[in-house]
Amino acid sequence: MTTASVPLPNWISYGLIPLLNLLLAFFFSGLVVWWIGESPFEALKFLIQGSLGRGDAIGFTLFYTTSFIFTGLSVAVAFHAGLFNIGSEGQAYVGGLGAALAALALDHYVPWYVTMPFAIAGAAIFGAAWAFIPAWLQAKRGSHIVITTIMFNFIGAALMVYLLVNVFIVPGKMAPETRTFLEGGQLPKLDWLMALFGLKLGPAPFNVSFLIALVMCYLVWLLIWRTKFGYEMRTLGISPSAAIYAGVPYARTVIIAMLISGGLAGMMALNAVNGAAARLQVEFVAGAGFVGIAVSLMGRSHPVGIILAALLFGILYQGGADLSFEMPTITRDMIVVIQGLVILFAGALEYMLRPAVVRIYQQFAKG
């Protein structure tokens, strides 16, 4: 019998193997650090200190984490329906437009908590809208969603640059960005939450979106494992033929799953646009959509896993910034390398270790 069909306990499949894959990714990252002549352990120390050592560091870490939770959830929801959404980046970008429009329209007149639901809705609707065409093309015309979502990332980027340069730019200014939102259009920082733990947030942009992200984790969990639609999505994602047998409508399921996925990606803009920058800027997504792929793969498309994976990447992003300050030979781009290695080992090579693990497991099970 081949090792592929040997059942393994859940703690091995969902705990040990992902952990080993992660360790491999870190091992190779360490090799890179060592290769450029720095100590990997020293680097790790700076990384941890820089991301968790102080109140504002933790604040920055959680700020990044928030963005990655949104995009991680986005990739995960599509993935459960058997769809690989590489377009979270573009959906988040366009989602920013919805979030910004809500803020620009309301910030003069109402306090932030009145604007917030409109900003959430705006971000989600614009993000979903950007996912709709690829979803429709996949559902009705069979166009490969991986390719169309990549294309839509670029089309979205062009659209947003056009809008920022030609429509939203503040007259007389050089930077292609909207005006700064008043407080009524911003999402307040979570100083009080940090204070509960005796930490000072400082300048870190850790804000209310974090709480929205946690709520979304719960809602996504509900959606996937507790609703009838989630059940249909999972059936379609695992076994398209069983979905036909069960009467799961293909086109509708694909389109709705992608709308939800796009909506979640769009909500990432709440954190970056309404929370941190208080204005819509060019390229504010800065790769968070792609980090979502890594987060979702590592978190095994489960909200709890996604929170943990997003936290890990939050640590990497914030700690990486500090690390490059402490060790000028290591730039922040080291994070991107680690991210790529995590996707490689946790995603593309996820089954590489399985045969070996099965053999060892069988030894133990026998003995």
- Which residues would be at the binding site for another protein (CB under 8 A)? 1, 7, 32, 36-37, 84, 86, 133, 137, 141-144, 146-148, 150-152, 154-155, 158-159, 161-162, 166, 222, 226-229, 231-232, 234-235, 238-239, 241-242, 244-249, 290, 293, 297, 328-331, 333-341, 343-344, 347-352
CB of 119 to another protein, least distance (A): 25
Nearest to residue 85, comparing CAs of 260, 298, 210?
Answer: 260
CB of 38 to another protein, least distance (A): 8
For another protein, the closer of residues 41 and 245 by Cβ is 245
CB of 210 to another protein, least distance (A): 25
CB of 268 to another protein, least distance (A): 18
For another protein, the closer of residues 181 and 345 by Cβ is 345
Q: Is 172 helix (H, G, I), strand (E, B) or coil?
A: coil
CB of 217 to another protein, least distance (A): 18
Token pair of 342, please? 């995590």
For another protein, the closer of residues 93 and 181 by Cβ is 93
Token pair of 234, please? 């999972």
Distances (CA, A) of 12 to 23, 165, 225: 15, 52, 22
Encode 110-137 in three state secondary structure: CCHHHHHHHHHHHHHHHHHHHHHHHHHH
Distances (CA, A) of 67 to 62, 198, 210, 297: 9, 24, 8, 16
For another protein, the closer of residues 190 and 335 by Cβ is 335
CA 174, 179, 182: angle at the middle one, nearest 5? 155
For another protein, the closer of residues 205 and 292 by Cβ is 292
CB of 170 to another protein, least distance (A): 19
Residue entry with tokens 């000072």:
200
Measure the N-to-C terminal CA separation of the chain; round to a whole number of Å: 20
CB of 137 to another protein, least distance (A): 5
d(CA 88, CA 338): 20
- Torsion angles phi and psi, residue 128, rounded to 5: -65, -40
For another protein, the closer of residues 107 and 177 by Cβ is 177
For another protein, the closer of residues 110 and 352 by Cβ is 352
Angle between helices 88-106 and 250-269 in degrees, nearest 10: 60
